[in-house]
Amino acid sequence: MKTFKRGISVIFFALFSFLLTAQIPEQLVKVIVTPNKDNWLYKPGEKALFSVQVLFHYNPLKGVKAYYEVGPEKLEPTKKDSLVLDGKSFVIDGGTLKSPGFLRCIVTVNYEGKKYEGMATAGYDPEKIKQTVPRPADFNDFWNKAKSELSRIPLDARMTLVPERCTEKVNVYNVSIMNYGYSRIYGMLAIPRKEGKFPAVLFVPGAGVRGYVPDMELAEKGIITFVIGIHGIPVNLDPGVYQDLANGALREYYTFNLDNKDRYYYKRVYLGCVRANDFLVSLPQYDGSNLAVTGGSQGGALSIITAALDSRTKYLAALYPALCDVTGYLEGRAGGWPHLFLKNNASFHNYKEKLETIPYYDVVNFARELKIPGFYTWGFNDEVCPPTSMYAAYNLISSPKTLLLIHDTGHWAYPEQHSNLRNWLTEKLGIR
């Protein structure tokens, strides 16, 4: 019975994580929207045309109304209209953009009581997108001081073997370590059981409140893997606890104390990622040189931030990073998750004190500091982390960078993206 309950918990965590961070790509009625350029890229002033097919059982759907809108991503559409499907594809004139950015066409169909949607997003000189978030003159001093304060706090690492998760090749531990402000970080650690020294990968989480399990596949290949939560609560609780916290005490945690750069919620989180590295490099099984960090969405942001803050990190791999150029909306374009200035949100956050805090935490200012190789992957159809925001950070990175761009993906990734990321990581870490 215990094994059954554990299995259910793992399935719940996986599903809950997916629902929080992914747009589900498959649907019964397929609304296929395609730009008229194969690479989805245009020059400012160049018109984008979008071809649309609506299929049911892979046959053209007829007699149903299709609604469409076109405009800069995440902003009010510049064009809205509808038509009745006649079984043929149709073309939407999307117009153009006059400056670097993204133009999105969204098509929806209501069929048998359910709404189906498809989209495509044309990119206009994305490599020329610039950040809107300013860089504080004391940015490095602020974080160096914070890391110095962290270094004076004892690690106080506590490891508890989890026999039911161990395998013949890997030992698994629940871990708790002391963090900034004498809070604690909780996570799960997987260490290869064979003799030797091993590289290590820190897994940083996407947004939300949930439990975690370590990456056993990489651990079985000979890599120490450590997955952490960011909220100072154990990562092996009953799923209902996380749901209660997500809907209660930790609801919209990313806005907590945003009006004070020294007390903002993410200060403890960012430093906690550095403290997680403190733990990893303290392990006797660690090889002493090969340390990587990876994650998606909020975890993509934390990967970049950890690599910028901690020179012990040698490689980073980020999927669709959040927290990038969040003030974009104030300049008339899309900003990054958590969309603090989108529509009605701006009335809560467009204040001097909050605008002064954001530059110390926005990914764009950490991207400037990167000095290590990084692997990145995202798509143009992401509505959670708009590509405008991600490019604003990516374009500031001067260290070696590899971008696997899969245009049609939203806030999700194909298996091939995950396998490419993992292959890149294992190769850099010297694992075949």
Instruction: Retrieve residue 336's tokens.
Output: 């990054």
- Greater confidence (18 vs 399) lies with 399
Residue the block writes with tokens 């651990």: 219
Residue the block writes with tokens 């998750």: 337
Say if residue 24's pLDDT is above 60.
Answer: no
**Average pLDDT for 376-384:** 98
- The percentage of residues in the chain with a pLDDT greater than 90, rounded to a whole number, is 94
The residues spanned by each domain of the chain are: 29-128, 139-428
User: For 225-267, how does the pLDDT look when each residue is reduced to its tens digit (9 = 90+)?
Assistant: 999 999 999 999 999 999 999 999 999 999 999 999 999 999 9
Q: Tell me whether the omega of the peptide bond preceding residue 338 falls within 30 degrees of 0, making it cis.
A: yes
Active-site annotation, residues: 297, 382, 411
**Average pLDDT for 58-76:** 97
E strands in 170-268: 170-178, 184-192, 198-203, 224-228
Apex 277 CA angle, 134 and 150, nearest 5: 65
Architecture of domain 139-428: 3-Layer(aba) Sandwich (3.40)
How high is the pLDDT of residue 20?
Answer: 40
pLDDT bin (cut points 50, 70, 90) of residue 26 is: confident
DSSP per position, 291-352: EEEEEETHHHHHHHHHHHH-TT--EEEEES--SSSGGGGGGTS---TT-TTSGGGHHHH-SH
How high is the pLDDT of residue 25?
Answer: 56
User: For 86-139, how does the pLDDT look when each residue is reduced to its tens digit (9 = 90+)?
Assistant: 999 999 999 999 999 999 999 999 999 999 999 999 999 999 999 999 999 999
Query: What is the CB neighbour count within 10 angstroms for residue 199?
Result: 26
pLDDT bin (cut points 50, 70, 90) of residue 5 is: very low
Are both 29-128 and 139-428 of the same fold? no
What does the radius of gyration of the chain's CA atoms come to, in whole angstroms?
22
Say if residue 298's pLDDT is above 50.
Answer: yes
* CB within 8 Å of 336: residues ≥ 6 apart: 321, 322, 323, 324, 325, 326, 328, 362, 363, 385, 386, 389, 390, 392
User: For 93-104, how does the pLDDT look when each residue is reduced to its tens digit (9 = 90+)?
Assistant: 999 999 999 999
Q: Specify whether the CB–CB gap between 177 and 156 falls below 8 A.
A: yes
Query: How far apart, in whole angstroms, are the C-alpha atoms of residue 417 and residue 309?
Result: 26
Q: Specify whether the CB–CB gap between 75 and 37 falls below 8 A.
A: no
Say if residue 411's pLDDT is above 80.
Answer: yes
Does domain 29-128 bear CATH number 2.60.40.1930?
yes
How high is the pLDDT of residue 165?
Answer: 97
Compute the residue count for the chain: 432
Say if residue 365's pLDDT is above 60.
Answer: yes
- Decide: pTM greater than 0.75: yes
User: For 170-209, how does the pLDDT look when each residue is reduced to its tens digit (9 = 90+)?
Assistant: 999 999 999 999 999 999 999 999 999 999 999 999 999 9
